[in-house]
Amino acid sequence: MNRIVLLAGLFLITLQSRADEPKQLTDVAYGKHPRNVLDFYPAKSDKPTPVVLYIHGGGWRGGDKKTNPNPFLDKGISVVAINYRYTQNGEEDNVVPPVKAPLGDAAYALQFVRSKAAAWNLDKQRIGATGGSAGACTSLWLAFHDDMADPQSEDPIARESTRLYCAAVNGAQVSLDPKELREWMPNYGYGAHAFGLPNFQSLIDNREKVLDWIKEYSPIEHVTKDDPPIALFYGGEEPVVGASPKDPTHSGIMGVKLEERLKATGVDVVLVCPGRPHPQYKNATEYLIDRLLK
């Protein structure tokens, strides 16, 4: 009998513990498009928590927000994972250039999260972004871009800041400029779809026509001394500027060039890639936990 009572008590404690856990929210709409949805994973805390904004990869043409939030939740950091319009959705919506759709959606999702700070128990000043590939590029664009808040907007969400506390990314593209990219890596050939063009040669041929767009949507073009701390993680072979890597789209060469710009500007940066291990951070998760909890 005592054993049965003990087991029943443990069962009730487990149920109560689960009941005390903050409620996860899935497919919360932050915009009008079907892909303008996010998942919210709240950390259990009596005080406002830092936030990781996860932006998935997929070339801005695929991918999904599914992620594992537990490493952050275990440290008291909440997680928001977003979907956003692909570039093809941008074309369908007559967004020009198409890359404005995924990047603009990410910015608005960040503002939406800030607008929920009180309701979701979030520290709106401590939001770090992460992602891989296209999601990494978007994260860096948010990190470096001037604040896109519109204080005069009738939309209260649009009045929120788009600035980040930090960012840690994997395999990031840092520029969309074909001339610059070919100087770094002669075999580079990706990204024309961002501007609605059919192939990389067409991007080279039309570079002057789309140069304003290139500058607006290339993260490296927005670097200024007031930007937040950044961590860049790359795999593949050891980066050598001017070489033709096996995977130029995700090459550490881009990390090397961005690191140069950030250091010259005075922005705190960590670069981890083959030949460049770091004594403290093995991955983006470790960096974000350390930074967001400082």
Domain boundaries, the chain: 23-292
Counting every residue written for the chain, the total comes to 294
Q: Specify the pLDDT at position 182.
A: 99
Could you tell me if residue 121 is left (phi over 0), alpha (psi between -120 and 50 degrees) or otherwise beta?
A: left
What does DSSP assign to residue 27?
E
What DSSP state is assigned to residue 45?
-
Q: How far are the Cα atoms of 93, 103, 181, 183 from residue 162, in angstroms, in the given order?
A: 23, 12, 27, 32
141-160 pLDDT per residue, tens = 999 999 999 999 999 999 99
Q: For the whole model, what pTM was predicted?
A: 0.93
Closest to 277 in 3D by CA, of 245, 252, 257: 252
Helices (H), ranges, the chain: 2-20, 70-73, 87-92, 100-115, 117-120, 134-144, 178-184, 200-205, 211-217, 252-265, 284-292
77-102 pLDDT, tens digit per residue, is: 999 999 999 999 999 999 999 999 99
Q: What fold characterizes domain 23-292? A: Rossmann fold (3.40.50)
pLDDT in tens, the chain (294 residues): 455 544 444 444 443 444 466 899 999 999 999 999 999 999 999 999 999 999 999 999 999 999 999 999 999 999 999 999 999 999 999 999 999 999 999 999 999 999 999 999 999 999 999 999 999 999 999 999 999 999 999 999 999 999 999 999 999 999 999 999 999 999 999 999 999 999 999 999 999 999 999 999 999 999 999 999 999 999 999 999 999 999 999 999 999 999 999 999 999 999 999 999 888 999 999 999 999 999
Q: What is the pLDDT, as a whole number, of residue 277? A: 86
- pLDDT value, residue 3: 53
Q: Which two tokens stand for residue 11?
A: 């069962």
Distance between CA atoms of residues 290 and 294, nearest Å: 6
Name the pairing type of β-strands 230-233 and 166-170: parallel
Task: Please provide residue 37's backbone torsions phi and psi, each rounded to the nearest 5 degrees.
Answer: -135, 155
**What backbone phi and psi angles, to 5 degrees, belong to 202?**
-65, -30
For the stretch 177-185, contacts whose Cβ atoms lie closer than 8 Å and that sit 24 or more positions apart, written own/partner, are 177/207, 177/214, 177/215, 177/218, 178/203, 178/204, 178/207, 179/204, 179/207, 181/248, 183/242, 184/241, 184/242, 184/253, 184/254, 184/257, 185/242, 185/243, 185/244, 185/245, 185/248, 185/251, 185/253
Give the C-alpha separation, 30 to 43, whole Å.
20
- State the Cα–Cα distance between residues 270 and 232, nearest whole angstrom: 6
* Phi, psi for 235 (deg, rounded to 5): -105, -150
Name which of 271, 179, 196, 197 is nearest 232 in CA terms: 271
- In degrees, rounded to 5, the angle at the alpha carbon of residue 228 between the alpha carbons of residues 227 and 229 is 125
Tokens of 208: 């002057």
Tokens matching residue 242: 């001017």
Estimate the share of the chain in helix, then strand, then coil, as percent rounded to the nearest 5: 40, 15, 45
